[in-house]
Structure 1
């Protein structure tokens, strides 16, 4: 089996003020989960701020993606933290964030009739419209506002623009994926020829992470089916499964194989 393009790495209970080096290479690092913010360094470079949901992909001055050799993480907080990283080559997009919207206060004021306006200083505009709005502009718009905007509209908005629109939002809180309430870890020795439970069934589990720390391939499944069936997990590999049922492992070798990992419990 060839080396995968992506690799998860779990940093468990990194103590306050402690650092840890990780012997892993790649072209990007994504923080899938982190119980608090921390500092990350690529190779021998300087530390920088990271938290859950952030991705770093180093590039040279010409814009070319660079491959780093090794990572370092540091906990500058007062308590131990857990960190789950995704490291690899190619591309990895975390699309879990959903924009939930933000309420915008409005104040209705009526315009008597359209009027030409010339303004050399800051603008302060308030408007009310009881029917539909229809706005059309054949050339580029250029509007600046230093303070807050207050616009009221009772009916539907109908806006047309022939040029390019540039819209920015500030001070908007984007909701994040709900974080796990607990991340219980496990370590199990799988005997030769058996189908032991790696983890039991849990209705409040989002996923289970399993790593093969042994020297033989084991097979991961949700039942005790035929020997050597299920998903093969070779030595050194890590598997993430989103399931609430019990997960089992079969060891076809003549010696026990150690599996370690953790669960995401909500």
Structure 2
């Protein structure tokens, strides 16, 4: 995950990520004059390749953005040190705004939330082991992500990038099978607002029938709670029944869908928002 740049202007300040690969601008937080902020963002977008703005707004900000043409696509409970977060978006063309798989994704979501929540099996199958990853796992993790995702929104197929993430504080847990990493997930921490994104979820196809991801996510949750992080959220591919089901089964609440949010797997994809209050 790219780290934001702090920008300060006379009437506003913001934490900004210019995401060239996904052709979007993401604002993780802002303060000050909303009209001046939005004008600044439009200028940034029009001078470059950006097709979408994403603003993480507080409860006192989202309606001001709505009045300026933004859309509410997601809601995150306890996102800003316990207060609500709102994912507001703005599109610059019809193609980026239009989802070609919405009805299929709706059917997947309905099938997920109709399922009975089953207790998580306490023990992994024999020959599988869970452990926390270290910088020494960077190469093996990059190989895993290269094998699972032909396209990914961040360069997780590069060992140097994975190593940098771990060194900067991202938490990775992995599952090993006969000594090889076959599944992994991470938590990207925001130490200012005390929330964490559970992301980089990947399992090799031949190991997907054992519920490995749920065990990894539980380990990440336990570590987050021990650090005082009580808001966990994730963006799951809307066309992936398995990932959406994993979060639902773990008690996450559906918080909306981000249209054509990022390049992942094969192309631009819609991402479902899932959020959980870990203090409960």
* TM-score, normalised with respect to structure 2: 0.27
Q: Rg: which structure is higher?
A: 1
Larger helix fraction of residues: 2
